[in-house]
Structure formats: structure tokens, C-alpha cells
Amino acid sequence: AFNSIVHRRYNDFVSLHELLLARFPYRLIPKLPPKKIVG
């Protein structure tokens, strides 16, 4: 099996969320969870 680890920044998900909201205005897009500070 092939395993991989992908690291994403919170801002990547913010950009994706905004794109989905713009492209699908009549769909229910769940809100993003709050940003957590790690470290």
C-alpha cells in the first residue's frame, strides 16, 4: 500500500472554503473550525 503525509496550512483551507462558497452559493458549505495555535 502507498502511504503519504500531506501538510496543509490553515490558510489553504480558508482559500478553498472561499472558493467553494463563491462557486456553489446555494450549497450548504460547513464553516471551518477555529484556527488552533500548535507549538
pLDDT of residue 36: 83
Res 37: pLDDT:
79
User: pLDDT tens for residues 1-39?
Assistant: 788 888 889 999 999 999 999 999 999 999 999 988 776
**Domain positions in the chain:** 1-39
Core vs surface per residue 13-33: b (16+ CB within 10 A) or e = eeeeeeeeeeeeeeeeeeeee
**Whole-angstrom distance, CA of residue 9 vs CA of residue 17:** 13
Q: Residue 26: what pLDDT?
A: 95
* Predicted pLDDT at 39: 67
